[in-house]
Amino acid sequence: MKFRQIAATVLISAATAFASVFVYSKFQPRQAGPYQNGSDNIPVNYTSYMPGTENRNITPPTDFSQAAKIAVPGVVHIKTKINPRQVSNNLQRRRSVLEDLFGDDFFGDEFQGQGGGRKYYVPGQMASGSGVLISDDGYIVTNNHVVDDADEITVTLNDYKTYKAKVIGTDPNTDLAVIKVDAKNLPYLLYGNSDDVEIGQWVLAIGYPLNLETTVTAGIVSAKARSIGINKQAKRNAIESFIQTDAAVNQGNSGGALINTAGELIGINSAIASPTGAYAGYSYAIPVNIMKKVVNDIMKYGNVQRAYLGIRYQDPNSIPEEKWKEYGVRRDVNGVVVTDVVASGAAADAGIQKGDVITGINGINTPSIPQMTEQIARYKPGDKISISYLRDDKARTANAVLKNIDGNTNIVKATVIDALGADLVTLEKSDAAKIGIRGGVYVDNISSGILKKQTNMKPSFIIMKAGDQAVTSVEQLRGILEKQKKVQLEGVYPELNGVYYYTIDLTNGADF
């Protein structure tokens, strides 16, 4: 074949192929490509390219400088100091023959208390955190763990002015505290609405991490109503319904502000999830709607007026298979399963029964325990709420009047028991018999308070005597401590041998 014939054949083939591709693409229907959510109309797009958005009036936030400018002046640096202190040790006290013969008074204070009365010193500590100004006259919200047991609190504003602060009130259940500096005309943050916070929206975290100056980080809300168990380590009735974000937060950010892009306060940064103790991708903030209620109670009553529904509950996912038929509940239920009802509680009065599934409070869906407890936490004893629930697969509604922990609607005042700073429970007779005692008060979750500050008592201690009087209930212990301000607590640890003694002084550091 001659060269001209070969060249002509190649050109004709190329022209034919090009024409075929052109005609096919022009007249044949477009084949389906990759689509989001199984839709045939929304193509997958990459990076920042999204065709057709030119006229949708959508402007992704790219500059947070205005929000930061609004909020930064209202976030403060908190430094705390805990002075060295003397505490009684927890060694078993061995009574000598001389003490039995002559009595304790013969030997004086040196031989009083457990461990032969020996004392030791805990070294001082210094720490720092953040806080948020909420009024122009110096009221500041921070985390309880930032100011816990602090003897001195110093607040430095964004303009470097420094003030001494005092604690107005604390709430370990939500890990919140209110402190105050003596100043006027201070910048403060406006409250937003944490109910309006959406997953995926931009937020800023502002604080003083790692003892640095004011630091602003950005991220998105990655989850709501998150419970991570951190508050429950300190208090049995802890409330956790965190806003989870991926804004970078580190040690020192605690108590700082989580704001929206309008510069409004939507949460108080409180914790991070990390295997190392440093930021690893997730941070947690207390919703401002919970914070507002806690702050208002502290300002008005001096302590938080906690409302209780009077139920025991369980997440559906944690219920064993054999329990579903017993409760008469479908496994695909979306709510909080009531496993028991307190006879004198608000739920019992409203007709709630074991096996019911609470699905909403005041019309707001509560598919999980954190969401339900967050809603209840916004109310005080005496407030009326509506409860949506399922029974026998039928939706029902009941009205309830919330009560306090004592089963009534009275205002609860801080007591000497609160000053101890622990969860105290009257020991059941059956439990007491198992360890060979008549009764006592079980101590759990020792957090901020007299027991932590003046002793090294450990959780699981059982108080059997206060002074020279036997103790078999929390009410009995309260009555004794209201009369005796300095008293020796005697008791046992179920897992240890021997009797242990702790001396406490309620005139030193108690506020009730």
Residues recognised as catalytic: 145, 175, 254
For residue 465 the two structure tokens come to 């005597």
Residue with tokens 């399922």: 390
Provide DSSP, 144-179.
HHHHTT-SEEEEE-TTS-EEEEEEEEEETTTTEEEE
How far apart are the C-alpha atoms of 32 and 43, rounded to whole Å?
9
3-state secondary structure of 363: coil
Please state the φ and ψ torsions of residue 111, each to the nearest 5 degrees. Answer: -100, 10
Residue with tokens 């608000």: 346
Q: Which of the 8 DSSP states describes residue 54? A: T
The strand pair at 441-444 and 423-426 is best described as antiparallel
Q: Which residues lie below 8 Å from residue 254, measured CB to CB, with a gap of 6+?
A: 129, 130, 142, 143, 145, 146, 207, 269, 270, 271
What count of residues does the chain have?
Answer: 512
Q: Which residues lie below 8 Å from residue 40, measured CB to CB, with a gap of 6+?
A: 32
How far apart are the C-alpha atoms of 195 and 179, rounded to whole Å?
26
Question: Are 159 and 73 contacting, i.e. CB atoms less than 8 angstroms apart?
Answer: yes
Alpha-carbon Rg of the chain, whole angstroms? 31
